């Protein structure tokens, strides 16, 4: 059983007795599992269970309700059985922070957004690390009778404003070109094997990033980037191609890199971000940026 299924089962097993004393507040209590941890992305396996894994779920309260019942409800949550369905108690540490239990809606989102309000300006969006945006919208909401928690979630899931999306696409395209199409073959020619491996790895990273941006998905922490490319509708073979590329020696990688770049370019064209032309992705950066350039710039240079 993966972590999300365990959390869902644990919640439904103890929901009614836990929330019975709070009947007047129950129409405004949301529940689910969202946030830090591979289980919230659905990527956990038997190797994930050595830390921060076990029965647990989140309860999200309106701020006014949290001020009244938050502490009491947390105390009741802490008295729930710590084991469930054969799984031992969740083991955390001081660095893990609070991942399950009772939260106010504003405090929960603030830990990822840096503020209780949704980002508005380009600068606001760019100040939030993208992996934290991915974390804020992962997982599953089991129940949300009032819809307050889900309303914020849906606004974040709508992805970046178009200006920021274009910047993300242009940045990744430029770095794919520089790392994979330009610097990798030169490193191979010079016998710089470490540099070639670094270039190949960076190419894979930025390919994952552009693929997710093309599908309106935030890029998570690096160790989940490749997993997130599995089954992308417009780039269905990318996951497998990147896996094959990762096993290829740098000296034999160039044909695969050009094939992947061609796939990405076709999708950029299909979505109207550029036109057919040069296979070198960096030549498409200006077209991708278009006229909608964020007021706060990022490094898209080599």
Mean pLDDT per 10-residue interval, the chain, length 302 residues: 94 98 98 95 74 86 99 98 85 77 98 94 97 98 98 98 98 98 97 96 98 99 97 98 94 94 99 97 98 57 48
Rounded to a whole number of angstroms, the distance between the first and last alpha carbons of the chain is 44
Task: State the residue for tokens 């178009």.
Answer: 162
Cα 104 to Cα 35, 116, 216, 239: the distances in Å are 14, 10, 28, 37
Strands 140-143, 30-33: pairing is antiparallel
Sheet of 30-33, strands arranged across: 101-104, 58-61, 30-33, 140-143
Determine the 3-state secondary structure of 36 from DSSP.
coil
Q: Single out the residue of 179, 160, 163 nearest to residue 281, CA to CA.
A: 179
Question: Exposure of 154 by Cβ count < 10 A (0-12 exposed, 13-18 middle, 19+ buried)?
Answer: exposed
Q: Supply the pLDDT for residue 45.
A: 74
Q: Specify whether the CB–CB gap between 256 and 237 falls below 8 A.
A: no
Q: Supply the pLDDT for residue 52.
A: 63
Q: Supply the pLDDT for residue 259.
A: 98
Q: Supply the pLDDT for residue 53.
A: 72
- d(C-alpha 76, C-alpha 285), whole Å: 55
Q: Supply the pLDDT for residue 118.
A: 95
Element (H, E) at 60: strand 58-61
What DSSP line would sit under 105-123, residue for residue?
A: HHHHHHHHHSSSSPP-SHH
Neighbours of 13 (CB within 10 A): 15
Q: Supply the pLDDT for residue 293.
A: 61
Q: Supply the pLDDT for residue 292.
A: 65
Q: Specify whether the CB–CB gap between 133 and 118 falls below 8 A.
A: no
- d(C-alpha 73, C-alpha 64), whole Å: 14
What DSSP line would sit under 147-192, residue for residue?
A: -HHHHHHHHHHT-S-HHHHHHHHHHHHHHHIIIIIIIHHHHHHTT-
The ranges assigned to domains in the chain are 3-157, 162-289
Helix axes 254-270, 193-214, angle to 10 degrees: 20
- Quote the distance between the C-alpha of residue 151 and its chain's center: 18
**103 bridge partner residues:** 60
Q: Single out the residue of 244, 260, 235, 284 nearest to residue 180, CA to CA.
A: 260
Q: Specify whether the CB–CB gap between 40 and 100 falls below 8 A.
A: no
Phi then psi dihedrals of residue 128, to 5 deg: -95, 120
Token pair of 29, please?
Answer: 């209590």
């Amino acid at each position: 059983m993966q972590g999300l299924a365990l959390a869902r089962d644990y919640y439904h097993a103890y929901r009614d007795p836990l929330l019975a004393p709070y009947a007047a507040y129950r129409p405004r209590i949301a529940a689910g599992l969202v946030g830090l941890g591979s289980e919230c992305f659905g990527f956990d396996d038997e190797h994930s269970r050595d830390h921060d894994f076990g029965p647990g779920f989140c309860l999200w309260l309106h701020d006014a309700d949290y001020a009244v019942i938050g502490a009491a409800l947390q105390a009741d949550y802490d008295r729930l059985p710590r084991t469930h369905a054969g799984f031992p108690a969740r083991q955390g540490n001081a660095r893990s922070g609070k991942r399950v239990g009772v939260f106010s809606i504003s405090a929960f989102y603030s830990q990822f957004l840096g503020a209780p309000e949704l980002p508005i300006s380009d600068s606001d969006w760019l100040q939030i690390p993208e992996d934290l945006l991915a974390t804020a919208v992962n997982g599953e909401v089991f129940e949300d009778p009032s819809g307050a928690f889900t309303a914020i979630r849906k606004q974040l899931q709508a992805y970046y404003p178009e200006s920021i999306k274009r910047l993300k696409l242009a940045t990744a395209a430029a770095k794919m070109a520089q790392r994979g199409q330009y610097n990798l073959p030169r490193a191979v020619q010079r016998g710089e094997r470490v540099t070639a491996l670094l270039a190949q790895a960076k190419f894979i990273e930025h390919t994952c990033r552009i693929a997710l941006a093309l599908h309106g998905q935030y890029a998570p922490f690096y160790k989940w980037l490749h997993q997130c490319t599995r089954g992308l509708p417009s780039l269905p073979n990318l996951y497998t191609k990147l896996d094959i590329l990762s096993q290829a020696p740098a000296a034999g990688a160039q044909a695969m890199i050009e094939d992947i770049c061609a796939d990405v370019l076709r999708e950029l064209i299909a979505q109207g971000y550029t036109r057919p032309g040069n296979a070198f992705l960096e030549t498409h950066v200006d077209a991708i940026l278009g006229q909608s350039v964020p007021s706060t710039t990022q490094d898209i240079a080599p």
